Amino acid sequence: KYPNTQLINMYGITETTVHVTYKAITDHEIETNLSNIGRPIPTLTSYIFDAQRRLVPIGVVGELYVGGDGVARGYLNREELTAERFVANPYKPEERLYRSGDLARRLPSGEMEYFGRIDHQVKIRGHRIELGEIETQLLRHEQIREATVLAQDDEQGQKFLCAYFISDGELTVSELRAHIGSELPVYMIPSYFVKLERIPLTANGKIDRKALPKPEGGVDSGTAYVAPRTELEAELAQIWQDTLGCGQVGVLDDFFALGGHSLKAMSLIT
């Protein structure tokens, strides 16, 4: 409608007063759903570090640090917090950096892709997982318009991943698992997928994670239901239902597509 209008995505942080990066948005960004935040504005610098504050290679997710003219002096009367968040640049000691707490990775073009907050990083069954990476992969599906992934606790206190999404059509668990598994390892495939009409937001427009519903079986598994045909199959189906918390299990169902994982498999065997 307005072909001469240019859209600019600007990533900003209050403590760096205030914009850090800029990126001109084209049809490519809109089609790929890539959260490209671009490059730093001329008066600021950016670094992506690992936990030991070493630069990570291109394509590897790390924490984004910001330097340059916009970096504030600190938090008023909060010396401990200031020391934690405003640090010396390990490569240029004379430069002060702000530790953003945001996850990003450098793209081959030199631009950066944003992956969300570092406190959305979770550890499940020994694996450290960036929820933003799973969300990004979900958004690459042509039918998915919005997506968020949450780590939740089951009845035994074990963490599992649940994906919430808004899509233009009906998608099965099998399709979604295959789509995520084409780019990410098995341990990053959510146990549950929940289709929503809308994703709840807080008053300031951020995703209200506390308002997301508990999964109740997710979406259609994509497998036709075949009822147990023998007493043994009926007993096995009941054990699966008890272990997985499912309302109904058919003889053709896949243990992992129903939310199973290695620890639940051990419970199943027991």
Give the domain CATH number at 152: 3.30.300.30
Domain boundary among 118, 144, 170: 118
The reply to whether 12 falls in a domain is yes
CA geometry: angle at 73 spanning 69 and 78, to 5°? 155
For the whole model, what pTM was predicted? 0.59
How many distinct structural domains can be found in the chain?
A: 3
158 within a domain of the structure (yes/no) = yes
Are residue 172 and residue 108 in the same domain, yes or no? Answer: no
We report the CATH number of the domain holding residue 111 as: 2.30.38.10
Q: Decide if 247 is inside a domain.
A: yes
pLDDT band at 173 (very low <50, low <70, confident <90, very high): confident
Share of the chain above pLDDT 70, in %: 95
Place of tokens 């953003």: 100
pLDDT of 108: 95
Structural domain including 230 reads 223-270
The answer to whether residues 25 and 54 belong to one domain is yes
Give the best-scoring range by mean pLDDT among 1-15, 197-211, 234-248.
1-15
Give the integer Cα–Cα distance in Å for 256 and 176.
Answer: 13
Which of 118, 142, 166 terminates a domain? The answer is 118
Say yes or no: 193 and 237 in one domain. no
194 and 227 assigned to the same domain: no
How many CB atoms within 10 Å of residue 63? 19
Highest-pLDDT range among 19-23, 24-28, 135-139, 239-243: 19-23
In a domain, 175, yes or no: yes
77-113 pLDDT, tens digit each:
999 999 999 999 999 999 999 999 999 999 999 999 9
Residues 16 and 114 in one domain: yes
Q: How far apart are CA 121 and CA 112, in angstroms?
A: 19
Domain identity same for 212 and 248? no
Would you say residue 235 lies in a domain? yes
21 assigned to some structural domain: yes
Same domain, 84 and 29: yes
- Which pLDDT score, from 0 to 100, does residue 217 have? 54
pLDDT, residue 112, reads: 97
Q: Is residue 262 located within the same domain as residue 214?
A: no
DSSP 3-state assignment of 125? coil
To the nearest whole number, what is the mean pLDDT of the chain? 88
Domain membership of residue 188 (yes or no) is: yes
Q: Which of 80-89, 156-165, 237-246, 256-265 has the lowest mean pLDDT?
A: 256-265
pLDDT for res 113: 93
Which is more confident, 38 or 244? 38
Q: Is residue 190 part of a domain?
A: yes
- In the predicted model, what is the mean pLDDT of residues 233-240? 93
156 with 246, same domain: the answer is no
CATH number for the domain spanning 266: value is: 1.10.1200.10
Query: Within 10 Å of residue 186's Cβ, how many Cβ atoms?
Result: 12
Domain boundary among 59, 94, 118: 118
pLDDT of residue 221: 55
> Phi, psi at residue 46, to the nearest 5°?
-140, 145
Q: Looking at the structure, do residues 214 and 227 belong to the same domain, yes or no?
A: no
* Residue 134 and residue 151 in contact, taking contact as beta carbons nearer than 8 Å: no
Residue 216 vs residues 74, 103, 174, 223, 247: alpha-carbon distances, Å:
45, 30, 17, 17, 9
Statement to judge: residues 68 and 112 lie in one domain: yes
Same domain, 182 and 157: yes
Task: Please determine, for residue 139, whether its predicted confidence score (pLDDT) is greater than 80.
Answer: yes
Q: Name the residue among 109, 124, 131, 132 with its Cα closest to residue 259.
A: 124
